């Protein structure tokens, strides 16, 4: 059966995989191919055990894989056979040279652009899905257009706003889809082709179009604003602990102001994930590049508060447990950067586990999805660390539990049973404020929530 359109995505990661599965699912007359240079990842996408955990993803992939969704390592063939190419390769923070620790490392992106140029025999629409610094499209256009092979390339920006753990819901029912293009005749034509793909399932009024630079910048700014809310409430959690205010009560009161809104006001051990820190640092770098040092300092402070909050959590544990953690066994409930994902990129749990080991504590890690990644994240540490799938087994014999990820599972455990299996006095540090603090205190735990007075038996 001939397909209406042939779509390629380069990069089968957390973004490329679910996004393409959704397009294939919603557009049965489009053929969608996802390629990646990593053969293991592609093999996993073609197997019963997908390379990423995301609620609802298995069902969608199973429904369309082999029909109009295909996973392959053949990048060359993919480029030749498809006219619409999404690029969602990773754009990590640079670790070397100019802008190290701040700017985005665009080497994979540029390499991909050059591959497209090398293999393309017909005109292509190239769509930036990865988060990129503003004006990347210009660099891509320069690579693609000024080489004299006569093939037309139109570069669009279509940033991804899905959040891990709710990716399928976000893709099915997005707040908005943003498509940026050049405002030339060919740019507007390419823009319309992409609008038509999304219009298969997204109401037209939620598909925003803009110039390409606004689109690129909007992604960075959305992530910066979301992260800023978390740093704001986390900063206030420190003040609450000094004043006997309760950060949840404050967040509720503040969030009921319709101008502020209730979301993203949960105090935590800090934000993690592959995007927030990277994108803010990228924004900071851009501001500095344009001489806007005060603006850069403003956004940089969002990252600084995030680091402060993680160190503060460590400080609370240390002080509460009589200023020494050496030889104490601490159980980490959760290692993923948030619930409902196995992803641990930039998870505050990595920092806390390492700091605990520096203090010579024994660390026991439990998590329903992230133990495999946790092992990789900590494989260079010489400290005493164990990985235990069952939370009861993990907590047994420990001096303290620190809740680091807000998995629903941890709300429902039998804390009496856990308390009785632990060393006494038993401590509970709730870095996500998800437990019944008074209930746990009544069982005998010394409870340290975030941004609220502790409940201690001594
Ligand atoms: C996300 C976002 O897309 C991006 O904006 C952000 O910069 C990084 O995080 P994500 O899907 O989470 O990307 O990244 P990842 O899971 O690392 O997937 C990227 C994939 O691209 C990997 O599977 C990698 O093997 C592949 N890749 C990388 C290529 O196929 N070719 C390359 O040249 C480089
Ligand atoms: C984020 C953006 O939400 C998404 O739009 C973008 O495409 C990619 O980056 P993601 O990183 O997957 O998504 O998850 P998100 O739900 O935003 O959470 C990020 C971090 O903030 C997590 O560590 C989470 O636990 C933390 N968080 C979130 C809080 O600490 N408090 C909150 O109130 C909300």
pLDDT in tens, 278-315: 999 999 999 999 999 999 999 999 999 999 999 999 99
Note whether 164 and 341 are within 8 A (CB): yes
pLDDT in tens, 116-157: 999 999 999 999 998 777 778 888 888 887 766 788 899 999
pLDDT in tens, 316-331: 999 999 999 999 999 9
Domains of the chain in start order, with CATH, are 5-202 (3.40.50.720), 213-458 (3.40.50.720)
Confidence of residue 4 (pLDDT cuts 50, 70, 90): confident
| Phi, psi values for residue 253, rounded to 5° | -65, -45
pLDDT in tens, 331-343: 999 999 999 999 9
- Please name the residues in contact with 177: beta carbons below 8 A apart, sequence gap of 6 or more: 158, 198, 202, 206, 207, 208
Note whether 188 and 181 are within 8 A (CB): yes
Confidence of residue 164 (pLDDT cuts 50, 70, 90): very high
Ligand 2, pocket-test mutation among 230, 267, 352, 403, most atoms within 8 A of CB: 230
Distance, in Å, from the CA atom of 140 to the CA atom of 117, rounded to the nearest integer, reads: 10
**275 is annotated as an active-site residue:** yes
Does the C-beta of 14 come closer than 6 Å to ligand 1?
yes
pLDDT in tens, 248-258: 999 999 999 99
For residue 109, pLDDT over 80 is answered with yes
Mean pLDDT computed over 92-106: 82
Most distant CA pair in the chain, distance: 78
- Give the Cβ contact number of residue 76 at 10 Å: 11
pLDDT in tens, 380-414: 998 899 999 999 999 999 999 999 999 999 999 99
Mean pLDDT computed over 359-366: 98
Ligand 1, atom 3: nearest CA belongs to which residue? 130
Give pLDDT, residue 94: 80
Give pLDDT, residue 148: 65
Mean pLDDT computed over 147-170: 90
Confidence of residue 42 (pLDDT cuts 50, 70, 90): very high
Average pLDDT, the chain: 95
Measured in Å, residue 83 CA sits from the centre of ligand 2 at 33
Looking from the CA of residue 75, the nearest atom of ligand 1 is 30
Give pLDDT, residue 1: 58
Ligand 2, pocket-test mutation among 19, 170, 273, most atoms within 8 A of CB: 273
Measured in Å, residue 372 CA sits from the centre of ligand 2 at 21
Kindly list the distances between the CA atom of residue 18 and the CA atoms of 147, 150, 167, 172, in Å, as whole numbers in the listed order. 34, 34, 7, 11
Residues having CB closer than 6 A to ligand 2 are 160-164, 223, 226, 230, 264-266, 268, 271-273, 275-276, 337-338
Which strands form 207-211's sheet, in the order they lie side by side? 69-72, 30-35, 5-10, 84-87, 124-128, 153-157, 177-181, 207-211
Give pLDDT, residue 144: 84
Measured in Å, residue 92 CA sits from the centre of ligand 1 at 9
Distance, in Å, from the CA atom of 131 to the CA atom of 162, rounded to the nearest integer, reads: 12
Give pLDDT, residue 139: 80
Q: pTM of this prediction?
A: 0.94
Q: Which residues pair with 430 in a beta bridge?
A: 403
Q: Which of 271, 242, 300, 252 is nearest to 451 (CA)?
A: 242
Note whether 307 and 280 are within 8 A (CB): no
Ligand whose nearest atom lies closest to the CA of 41: 1
Structural tokens at position 240: 């609450």
Ligand whose nearest atom lies closest to the CA of 93: 1
Q: Which of 240, 275, 287, 440 is catalytic?
A: 275
Q: Which of 91, 160, 82 is nearest to 115 (CA)?
A: 82
Mean pLDDT computed over 344-368: 97
For 268-299, the DSSP string reads -S---SSSHHHHHHHHHHHHHHTT-HHHHHHH
- Please name the residues in contact with 213: beta carbons below 8 A apart, sequence gap of 6 or more: 134, 135, 137, 180
Measured in Å, residue 130 CA sits from the centre of ligand 1 at 8
For 126-147, the DSSP string reads EEE-S---TTHHHHHHHHHHTT
Looking from the CA of residue 115, the nearest atom of ligand 1 is 33
Mean pLDDT computed over 19-29: 97
Give pLDDT, residue 411: 98
Note whether 399 and 322 are within 8 A (CB): no
Structural tokens at position 19: 């996004």
Question: What secondary structure letter does DSSP report for 447?
Answer: E
Measured in Å, residue 411 CA sits from the centre of ligand 2 at 20
- Give the Cβ contact number of residue 71 at 10 Å: 25
Distance, in Å, from the CA atom of 420 to the CA atom of 18, rounded to the nearest integer, reads: 43
In the chain, what percentage of residues exceed pLDDT 70? 99
Does the C-beta of 130 come closer than 6 Å to ligand 1?
yes
Ligand 2, atom 31: nearest CA belongs to which residue? 266
Looking from the CA of residue 14, the nearest atom of ligand 2 is 12
Q: What angle do CA 297, 159, 224 make, to 5 degrees?
A: 20
Distance, in Å, from the CA atom of 422 to the CA atom of 440, rounded to the nearest integer, reads: 13
Ligand 2, pocket-test mutation among 161, 165, 271, 433, most atoms within 8 A of CB: 271
| Phi, psi values for residue 360, rounded to 5° | 70, 30
Measured in Å, residue 133 CA sits from the centre of ligand 1 at 16
What would you report as the CA-atom Rg of the chain, rounded to the nearest whole angstrom? 24
For 84-119, the DSSP string reads EEEE----PBP-SSTTTTTSB--HHHHHHHHHHHHH
Distance, in Å, from the CA atom of 87 to the CA atom of 410, rounded to the nearest integer, reads: 37
Does the C-beta of 131 come closer than 6 Å to ligand 1?
yes
Ligand 2, pocket-test mutation among 129, 177, 226, most atoms within 8 A of CB: 226
Distance, in Å, from the CA atom of 367 to the CA atom of 388, rounded to the nearest integer, reads: 8
Give pLDDT, residue 300: 98
Task: Write down how long the chain is.
Answer: 458
For residue 2, pLDDT over 90 is answered with no
């Amino acid at each position: 059966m001939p397909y209406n359109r042939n779509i390629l995505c380069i990069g089968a990661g957390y973004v490329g995989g679910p996004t393409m599965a959704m397009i294939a699912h919603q557009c049965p007359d489009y053929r969608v191919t996802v390629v990646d240079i990593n053969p293991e990842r592609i093999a996993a996408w073609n197997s019963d055990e997908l390379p990423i955990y995301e609620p609802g993803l298995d069902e969608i992939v199973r429904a369309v894989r082999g029909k109009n969704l295909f996973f392959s390592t053949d990048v060359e063939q993919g480029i030749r056979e498809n006219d619409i190419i999404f690029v969602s390769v990773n754009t990590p923070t640079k670790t070397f040279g100019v802008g190290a620790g701040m700017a985005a490392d665009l080497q994979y992106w540029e390499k991909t652009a050059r591959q497209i140029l090398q293999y393309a025999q017909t005109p292509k629409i190239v769509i930036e899905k990865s988060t990129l610094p503003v004006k990347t499209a210009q660099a891509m256009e320069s690579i693609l257009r000024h080489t004299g092979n006569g093939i037309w390339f139109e570069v669009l920006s279509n940033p991804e706003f899905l959040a891990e753990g709710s990716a399928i819901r976000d893709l099915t029912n997005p707040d908005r889809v943003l498509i940026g293009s050049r405002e030339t005749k060919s740019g507007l034509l390419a823009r319309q082709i992409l609008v038509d793909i999304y219009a298969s399932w997204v109401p037209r009024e939620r598909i925003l179009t803009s110039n390409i630079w606004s689109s690129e910048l909007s992604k960075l700014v959305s992530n910066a604003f979301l992260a800023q809310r978390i740093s704001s409430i986390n900063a206030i959690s420190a003040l609450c602990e000094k004043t006997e205010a309760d950060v949840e009560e404050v967040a509720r009161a503040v969030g009921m102001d319709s101008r502020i809104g209730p979301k993203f006001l949960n105090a935590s051990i800090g934000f993690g994930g592959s995007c927030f820190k990277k994108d803010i640092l990228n924004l900071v770098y851009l501001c500095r590049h344009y001489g806007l040092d005060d603006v850069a300092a403003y956004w940089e402070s969002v990252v600084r508060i995030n680091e402060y909050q993680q160190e503060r959590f460590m400080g609370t544990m240390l002080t509460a447990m009589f200023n020494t953690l050496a030889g104490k066994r601490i159980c980490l409930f959760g290692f993923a950067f948030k619930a409902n994902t196995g992803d641990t990129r930039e998870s505050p749990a990595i920092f806390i586990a390492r700091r605990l080991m520096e203090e010579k504590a024994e660390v026991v890690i439990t998590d329903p999805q992230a133990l495999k990644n946790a092992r990789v994240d900590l494989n260079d540490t010489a400290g005493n660390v164990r990985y235990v799938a069952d939370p009861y087994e993990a907590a047994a014999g420990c001096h303290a539990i620190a809740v680091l990820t807000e998995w629903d599972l941890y709300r429902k455990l039998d804390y009496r049973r856990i308390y009785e299996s632990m060393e006494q006095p038993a401590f509970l540090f709730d870095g996500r404020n998800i437990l019944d603090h008074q209930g746990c205190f009544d069982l005998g735990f010394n409870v340290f929530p975030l941004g609220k007075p502790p409940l201690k038996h001594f």
